[in-house]
Structure 1
């Protein structure tokens, strides 16, 4: 039915995600992580190497600021190159339509921004169908919650009035209009989201402090609740705007209210499995880990932890459809271009290739084996509606 994606719609349980942020920093500098990681010219080889390691579903993104540098004038060449690379490699891509970076001619807090985004999104899925013969799988707007927070606290440039919650509502309105335009262009396109999964603990056990911490923790659900029309229905949200709930989870995603990060192993650190089961019960939709990873030598151990917790959550009935290693390549940090050693692959070295981070690859292979039996058993337990089985 429209708006529904069946279980196992992804071509692989383990996925790869390419860092594709393209926003302007508060100092005005434009980031372009697709270019900075050389993914813009090595996409075909990047996708091929992912597929060889069993990562046949990819998260990647369009660079809106390159495609529409003037109003309604589209140059799709940067994306066409990547569409062709994906087709050659035989991988499935979930495309971020808007990953923070918009054209310079637009004020991100304006009504014109909503209209321009909707037009751009509609044209994108129309081109995807024309080039691939398939409906697009898209993340309409990456991390609405983080995006809104970054604007409100001044980490990203300001947009719109300085009213708490205003920009998040604005982004939800934008997403709703974009989905309307994408469905009009191709009714079969699917919407796979990505929002932070967090935990916030109180600094002490006083009643007021515990209530403040819980209220702050519940804020992580606002974007999804708005998109589904469960709150602020005037924004146009509806349950069928979300096919798969995506959750981004990193080592720094748990902290004390207005305090430091909670280290793993601390009594206040909440098990990821509990968090996943809570989301599964809240939304009753397929979900996946849309982003996860850790820097340096912590990478293999972090993947081990996340996979153990996902297996636990699946055992409790959570319909988890995948885990995306993100970013899959090393990249220069947003704030100061420092070298961030993450994922499976290095930067491009002399000779035009990336080195593999073998310890991460070994842990990935081990986890793929561990998940194989679990996923096969789960698939066998799903009735085949085509035969009435």
Structure 2
């Protein structure tokens, strides 16, 4: 029996692990481990997760650092980190791709060898840590990858429009499937695959003049997961659109013929950012007004996305990221209320197996990449520990959100498996 089959709700944390190392005029490298000084403080940071009672940690590998050149590997930083997980008894839920590629891969996700290269890297990780790591997320939030890199020209390779988006969807889906197949060959039945999607909801005038566009965007938000799980076949609402914008029929057949399925479907939900407001007469989402206005639908939205993903993919679900960027009091309230909702849904039969507070300690806003201000100007107050600037570097200061998290984690850990 694997961890997600024991009948309990498992509590975990994450360390923000976005890596976009490429630079150009007006854009800095974005490496959250560097910004938060996690590269130096990883030993103590993992201890904080244990202190909070986390059973697992969603934690990403900086591909660009451990694979500095084609076929070359540097495990010197990663080996002791993995040993620390084992020492603490925390299950690493490894993010293999949480944005960003090595700098030597010209064109990033648009390079024709990207799918092969990401699978090669992933298999190398799985082989090296086969005795200690079994839980993998092949691609975190694939549609955010695709949109930022292929539609909005925000991150490398800076493609835009529907053709750019489709090109990124194809590359990511191909690499996703190759990665999971490769790891499964290494680990066999020991492997657990946690697929993780960013949720994308729409509220407001969803049945009015923009109804067709809203329906399209809703289906588009699932498209990478639908592709890798073999669901995009005749009759799928995204099939014709993908083919019309350059998706290869051969790749479509290959994905449909050899699907990779999640053991657990991860859902990332932020109440203040996951729901776009649709207004009569004005098109916002990817349209005429940028940025799109967002509406906080709180518990209503959270319940909706957990039920939707559980029903759509027919596997257990986990809340793999959630928090509010707000005061400590507001964070504690969201934690308490969202945990209570998850328990109620479990009692109603929704197979929710995990709850993840993201992040363990504060992080820095992605807009840091396009700013010229000191890092503290981009600080996001989200964590169980605050990040505090000092002459000795960034200090971690525990706040009451950690106490509340530890209380919930301890209560569920005390429940005997059914």
The verdict on a shared fold, with TM-score over 0.5 as the criterion, is yes
Q: Residue 397 of structure 2 aligns with which residue?
A: 355
Q: Residue 165 of structure 1 aligns with which residue?
A: 166
Report which stretch shifted further, 27-36 or 145-154: 27-36
Deviation per residue, 1:248-294 (Å, 9 max, x gap): 000210112324111337xxx84421321122111110110111111
Structure-2 separation of matches of 1:83 and 1:312: 35
Query: 1:174: how far off?
Result: 0.7
Structure-2 separation of matches of 1:177 and 1:89: 31
Distance 1:25 1:200, change over 3 A: farther
Query: 1:38: how far off?
Result: 1.7
Q: Residue 196 of structure 1 aligns with which residue?
A: 198
Query: 1:311: how far off?
Result: 2.1
Query: 1:11: how far off?
Result: 9.4
Check conservation: 1:202, 1:209, Cα contact below 8 A.
no
Q: Residue 255 of structure 2 aligns with which residue?
A: 236
Report which stretch shifted further, 60-69 or 229-238: 229-238
Q: Residue 134 of structure 1 aligns with which residue?
A: 132
Query: 1:309: how far off?
Result: 2.5
Report which stretch shifted further, 312-321 or 279-288: 312-321
Check conservation: 1:12, 1:55, Cα contact below 8 A.
no
Structure 1 unaligned spans of 5+: 381-389
Structure-1 separation of matches of 2:35 and 2:255: 37
Structure 2 unaligned spans of 5+: 234-251, 279-283, 285-291, 369-374
Match of 1:263 among 296, 301, 308: 296
Check conservation: 1:202, 1:210, Cα contact below 8 A.
no
Check conservation: 2:92, 2:133, Cα contact below 8 A.
no
Query: 1:9: how far off?
Result: 6.6
Q: TM-score, normalised by structure 2?
A: 0.80
Structure-2 separation of matches of 1:119 and 1:340: 34
Query: 1:74: how far off?
Result: 0.9
Q: TM-score, normalised by structure 1?
A: 0.85
Query: 1:310: how far off?
Result: 1.6
2:267 matched to 1:247?
Answer: yes
Structure-1 separation of matches of 2:9 and 2:313: 23
Check conservation: 2:143, 2:221, Cα contact below 8 A.
yes
Q: Residue 313 of structure 2 aligns with which residue?
A: 283
Query: 1:179: how far off?
Result: 1.7
Distance 1:12 1:87, change over 3 A: farther
SS at match of 2:113: helix
Match of 1:324 among 346, 352, 356: 356
Check conservation: 2:53, 2:410, Cα contact below 8 A.
no
Report which stretch shifted further, 118-127 or 104-113: 104-113
Cα RMSD after superposing both structures: 2.7
Q: Which has the higher contact order (CA 8 A, sep 6+)?
A: 2
